[in-house]
Amino acid sequence: MQDVEGKIAFITGGASGIGLGMAIAFVNAGMNVVISDFRRDHLEESTAYFKKKNLENNTHHLRLDVTNRDAFVRAADEAEGKFGKVHVLCNNAGMGILGPVKQAKFDDWDWALEVMIGGVVNGIQTFLPRILKHGEGGHIVTTSSMGGVIPLAGSPIYSTVKAGVVGMCEAMRGELAEENIGVSAFCPGPVSTNIHEVGLMRPEKYKKDSGYAEKEQALSDRPKFSNEMSIEECGERVLRGIRRNDLYIFTHREFREGVAERMGAMLASFPNEEINRERAKEFAFLTSNPIFRQVIEAAGRS
């Protein structure tokens, strides 16, 4: 989707942080954007921001709990009623749920899975049929994290969901390319967001059996890093990734060696033995995915 002017985007978790950065970049590129969010205060702040910029006619704000499937359908109807056909879906809603596995309880796992896996599924199941129906092509961006590519100790829940959406994007990529729909796994590094306010976002139903209350309070009091990327720059990188149809959208060069180290660890762990040629031939459809070769070839041409 190199030509994004006049196209419509729908962003979950779009009223602050990375989602707001996406919205700013998209509007500046001539798109109309539906900004959905769970937090009313963020919606009010985002509405005021675009009104101050005289861009309120290019945005539409609505409250959405991404775990509510019926509400997602109503939000999609409202988006189409406001601007027309949606071309870009950004599954961005999430939270920075961190803590050691030995302290985790069911509410911690359930909340993360329901929002950052279930919410993504709900977005795809709601919007993909509509994008396929209008036949004009489109793009789906799902926000993962560098934590989904380089899992760290103390983040088993967060790393699980973020790694899961990377695999989902990789699996969808080849299939939807046939429909002129791009798919990107967005893996940002540290960005100036409200990710530390995870405790403010946790619903009451996920507070009874949680082992992370103290951790979330500590996160809320944590000062921001001094070298975090701005949301505006982050949003521009997402926009560039959509235009280039990137499978992976990375924001920070500083993580490259860590990713290479992880891939090297995987390669080093394979059995050191000769390939069983008959088995390799029989299961050739399982042993590689052409999308990876395409990414490498595209990088070589750029």
Query: Helix H segments across 138-255?
Result: 156-177, 198-201, 213-220, 231-244
**Are 134 and 85 contacting, i.e. CB atoms less than 8 angstroms apart?**
yes
Give the residue from 185, 183, 87 showing the smallest Cα distance to 130.
87
Residue 158 annotated as catalytic: yes
Helix axes 69-83, 119-134, angle to 10 degrees: 40
Encoded tokens for 110? 């359930």
Residue of 49, 158, 206, 248 with catalytic role: 158
Strand residues in 38-155 grouped as ranges (E): 59-63, 88-91, 138-143
C-beta neighbour count of 256 within 10 angstroms: 10
C-beta neighbour count of 282 within 10 angstroms: 10
C-beta neighbour count of 203 within 10 angstroms: 13
Which residue, chain included where needed, has tokens 């009091």?
Answer: 221
Q: What's the length of the chain?
A: 302
User: Which residues are catalytically annotated?
Assistant: 158
